[in-house]
């Protein structure tokens, strides 16, 4: 590929990245903290692309004998493949299909003390799904006992939870490819939601008869009983709110 | 470098000289398309715009595109690419700077003559590059081009993504309080890099290694121009192979059933082998692999150490990138040697430190 070709690929990449940064949809694919590195990379891409495009076009016209001295292998064209997938499939992050494939995350023992959960003025306090699971398994002071909590997450229907669903968030440390689901089995729901619906659920932890740590393997769920549920009017999927924890 | 530009380019240059008088600036691309004689010149914008428009047209048109597994595959593929992009850009900026400002004379002055000194020095120099493995491939390629002994450049290639501060800190965050694991990762990775580097210093088979040379820039005096040119070229070169690797990694993530992982947790040797295989197949970024390993607590620490040591030095996307930058023959030899060395180092270090 010649310099103008290289410039086109870099500009296309840069523009698509700039758009993803602008809309926040990059959050479906990578962790929020990668935003600044991605922004810097986008700026460099656009600057390199502009310089290559301008000087490449100029070179073609003014110094015909030095043109095409500088080529890159054709494999570089493959870099538009992710752009094509983005545009044609418009993928939107991890959901039920991903949760079915990977065992839910069971946090290792928390060494720190759990801070008290602050009350909220409108309804039960909202906590992260990871925090809920962590406290359910490891909090010796049982801060979740008999106390309604508000959780926000995706619906994943599962044969193990016939009377409800697995309320799911994904733990993503770098990009969606390393995502692991964190799940709370919400029981006694009484209605069904399609997979991947964002819901806000007020739940109370159902304490297990045997402590989780005495259960075999990692096949158990943290259970919770439903108090009330609404379809999330404002799911954390755009405008810089990460869908992941 | 796998480039075919000899006869092709000559004909382009010829075409260009002919066209130049006939068309003004803006008509060029269109004229070329019409004539269809000089593919390779001026067709860049078209090869790009037409597929993008087609992709936009088929959006939401086919049920197959809405298939849940296919959408998941797309998410995984795109996220591996996007995640690597900042590190790739950092890598090619450094490789561009090397090509523009580091002369073979300078390398000769800095790098120790004897490989006994050069290889460990290059390994420790890996501490200075905060990034993951995608960025260090073009850098190593340019280092060889600038006259660095290949053994030292390869040592740097293996060490940088595994022992830099960002990776060590993220390992410490993923395994809170477990400093012996961070230390073991550092030791085993550095040992792998130095051993493989020493192996290459002994073998030093120049015929196997194709390198990125700077000679094509001898006619250019403007250093900034060289910098941009090399950075752009390396970005598309390494980036293209990165995409190949991402395709493979996303596909394998979908194909490997999770039950395989859980069924081997009971046997130490089996889990070491499975973790080495996973590190190669999943191709997870070295800044994230510690978190993945932390999420599999049913396995022993030493088998997870294998995952952390193998992943940054060799995986599917790296094999694709090595083949692109250093040549296919080299990659086919380098991959198994590196893999075996990394597994051995991780097992031995794990036995003593964990």
In a domain, B231, yes or no: yes
The whole-number pLDDT of residue B347 equals 95
Q: Among all residues of chain A, which has the CA nearest to that of B9?
A: A68
What residues in B contact A37, CB-CB < 8 Å? 86-87, 90
* pLDDT tens string A41-85: 999 999 999 998 888 888 767 655 544 455 667 788 888 899 989
More confident residue, A133 or B212: A133
The alpha carbon of residue A128 is apart from the nearest alpha carbon of chain B, in Å, by: 18
In a domain, B2, yes or no: no
The burial class, CB within 10 Å (0-12 / 13-18 / 19+), for B100 is: buried
- The residue that leads in pLDDT, B267 or A194, is A194
- Tell me the chain A residues in contact with residue B16 when contact means C-beta distances shorter than 8 Å: 60, 64, 67-68
Shortest CA distance from B74: residue in chain A = A91
Flag whether B36 is in a domain. Answer: no
Cβ within 8 Å, pair A90-B59: yes
Cβ-Cβ contacts under 8 Å between A and B: the total is 252
Among A90, A98, A85, smallest CA distance to A23 is for: A90
Q: Is B41 on the interface with A (CB under 8 A)?
A: yes
Contacts of A17 in chain B (CB under 8 A): 82, 85
Is residue B62 in some structural domain?
A: no
Q: Do B295 and A180 touch (CB under 8 A)?
A: yes
Predicted model pTM: 0.76
Number of other CB atoms surrounding residue B351 within 10 Å:
11
pLDDT digits (tens, 9 = 90+) for A22-42: 988 898 998 888 889 899 999
- Chain B residues touching residue A2 (CB < 8 angstroms): 12, 40-41, 44
> What is the residue-level pLDDT of chain B in tens, covering all 354 positions?
333 333 333 334 333 333 333 333 333 333 333 333 334 455 556 667 777 777 777 776 666 667 888 888 999 899 888 988 888 888 888 888 887 887 777 777 877 878 788 899 889 988 877 667 777 888 888 888 888 888 999 999 999 888 988 788 878 877 877 899 999 999 999 999 999 999 999 987 777 777 655 444 444 567 888 888 888 888 888 788 788 878 877 887 787 765 666 666 667 888 888 889 888 887 777 776 787 777 666 678 898 899 999 999 998 889 988 988 888 889 999 999 999 999 999 999 999 998
Domain assignment present for residue B184? The answer is yes
User: Structurally, how many domains does chain B consist of?
Assistant: 1
Residue A149 pLDDT: 93
Helix (H, G, I), strand (E, B) or coil at B199: helix
- Within 8 A of A52 by CB-CB distance, chain B residues are 228-229, 232
| B27 contacts chain A (CB < 8 A) | no
CB contacts, 8 Å: A90 with chain B:
59-60
Residues of chain B with C-beta less than 8 angstroms from the C-beta of A9: 44, 48, 236
pLDDT score of B8: 37
Nearest residue in chain A measured CA to CA from B6:
A69
Between chains, do A30 and B235 touch, taking CB under 8 Å as contact? no
B8 found inside a domain? no
Q: pLDDT higher for B32 or A129? A: A129
pLDDT at B218: 47
Nearest to B85 among A41, A52, A57 (CB): A41
Q: What is the pLDDT of residue A229?
A: 92
Contact B44 A174 (CB under 8 A): no
Q: Is A142 left (phi over 0), alpha (psi -120 to 50) or beta?
A: left
State whether A93 and B75 contact (CB < 8 Å).
yes
| Both tokens assigned to A92 | 């939107």
* Contact residues, B window 122-181, toward A, CB-based 8 Å cutoff: 170, 174, 176-177
Q: What is the mean pLDDT of chain A?
A: 85
Per-residue pLDDT at B12? 40
The pLDDT of residue B259 = 60
B85:A4 CB<8 A? no
- Provide the shortest C-alpha distance from residue B198 to chain A (in Å): 31
Domain assignment present for B240: yes
Residues of B in contact with A62 (CB under 8 A): none
Confidence (pLDDT) at B10: 37
Instruction: Give domain status of residue B134, yes or no.
Output: yes
DSSP chain A: --HHHHHHHHHHHHHHHHHHHHHSGGGGTB-GGGHHHHHHHHHHHHHHHHHHHHHHHHHHHH-GGGTTSS---GGGGGGGHHHHHHHHH------HHHHHHSPPP-PPPP-SPPPPPPP-SSSSPB--HHHHHHHHHH-TT-TTTT--EEEEEEEE--TT-TTSEEEEEEE-SSBGGG-EEEEEEEE---S---TT-EEEEEEEE---SS-GGGSSTT---EEEEEEEEEE-SS-TTSTT--SB-
Torsion angle defined by CA atoms of residues A80, A81, A87 and A88, in that order, rounded to the nearest 10 degrees = 150
Residue A221 has pLDDT above 70, yes or no: yes
Look up the domain containing B277 and give its range.
68-353
């Amino acid at each position: 590929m010649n310099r103008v070709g290289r410039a086109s690929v870099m500009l296309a990449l840069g523009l698509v990245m700039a758009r993803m940064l602008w809309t926040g949809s990059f959050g479906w694919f990578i962790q929020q903290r990668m935003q600044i590195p991605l922004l810097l990379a986008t700026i460099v891409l656009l600057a390199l692309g502009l310089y290559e495009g301008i000087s490449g076009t100029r070179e073609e016209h003014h110094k015909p004998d030095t043109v095409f001295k500088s080529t890159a292998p054709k494999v570089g064209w493959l870099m538009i493949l992710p752009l094509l997938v983005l545009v044609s499939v418009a993928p939107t992050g991890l959901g039920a299909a991903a949760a079915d494939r990977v065992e839910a995350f069971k946090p290792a023992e928390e060494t720190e003390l759990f801070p008290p959960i602050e009350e909220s003025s409108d309804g039960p306090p909202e906590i992260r799904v990871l925090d809920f699971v962590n406290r359910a398994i490891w909090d010796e002071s049982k801060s979740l006992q008999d106390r309604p909590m508000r959780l926000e997450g995706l619906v994943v229907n599962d044969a193990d939870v016939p009377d409800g669903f697995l309320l799911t968030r994904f733990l993503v440390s770098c990009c969606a490819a390393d995502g692991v689901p964190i799940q709370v089995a919400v029981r006694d729901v009484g209605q069904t939601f399609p997979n991947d619906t964002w819901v806000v659920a007020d739940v109370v932890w159902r304490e297990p008869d045997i402590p989780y740590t005495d259960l075999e393997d990692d096949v158990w769920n943290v259970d919770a009983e439903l108090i009330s549920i609404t379809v999330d009017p404002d799911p954390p999927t755009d405008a810089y709110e990460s869908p992941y924890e | 470098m796998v480039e075919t530009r000899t006869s092709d380019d000559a004909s382009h240059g010829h075409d260009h000289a002919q066209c130049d008088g006939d068309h003004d600036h803006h008509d060029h691309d269109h004229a070329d398309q019409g004539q269809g004689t000089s593919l390779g010149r001026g067709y860049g914008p078209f090869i790009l715009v037409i597929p993008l428009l087609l992709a936009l047209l088929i959006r939401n048109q086919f049920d197959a595109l809405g298939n849940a597994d296919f959408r998941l595959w797309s998410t995984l593929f795109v996220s591996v690419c996007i995640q690597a992009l900042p590190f790739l850009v950092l890598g090619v900026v450094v490789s561009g700077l090397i090509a523009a400002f580091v002369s073979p004379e300078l390398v000769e002055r800095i790098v120790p003559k004897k490989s006994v000194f050069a290889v460990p020095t290059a390994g420790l120099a890996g501490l200075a590059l905060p990034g993951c493995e995608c960025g260090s491939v073009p850098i190593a390629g340019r280092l060889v081009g600038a006259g660095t002994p290949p053994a030292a450049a390869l040592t740097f290639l293996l060490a940088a993504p595994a022992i830099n501060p960002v990776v060590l800190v993220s390992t410490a965050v993923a395994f809170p309080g477990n400093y012996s694991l961070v230390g073991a990762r550092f030791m085993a990775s550095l040992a792998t890099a130095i051993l493989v580097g020493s192996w290459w210093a002994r073998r030093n088979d120049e015929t196997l290694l194709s390198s990125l040379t700077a000679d094509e820039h001898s006619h250019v005096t403007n250093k900034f121009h060289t910098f941009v040119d090399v950075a752009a070229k390396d970005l598309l070169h390494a980036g293209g192979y990165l995409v190949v690797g991402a395709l493979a990694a996303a596909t394998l993530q979908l194909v490997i059933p999770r039950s395989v992982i859980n069924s081997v947790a009971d046997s130490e040797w089996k889990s070491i082998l499975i973790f080495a295989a996973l590190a190669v197949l999943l191709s997870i970024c070295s800044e994230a692999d510690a978190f993945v390993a932390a999420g599999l607590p049913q396995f022993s620490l030493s088998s997870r150490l294998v995952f952390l040591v193998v992943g940054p030095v060799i995986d599917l996307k790296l094999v694709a990138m090595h083949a692109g930058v250093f040549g296919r023959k080299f990659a086919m030899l380098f991959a198994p040697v590196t893999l075996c060395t990394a597994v051995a180092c991780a097992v031995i270090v794990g036995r003593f430190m964990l």
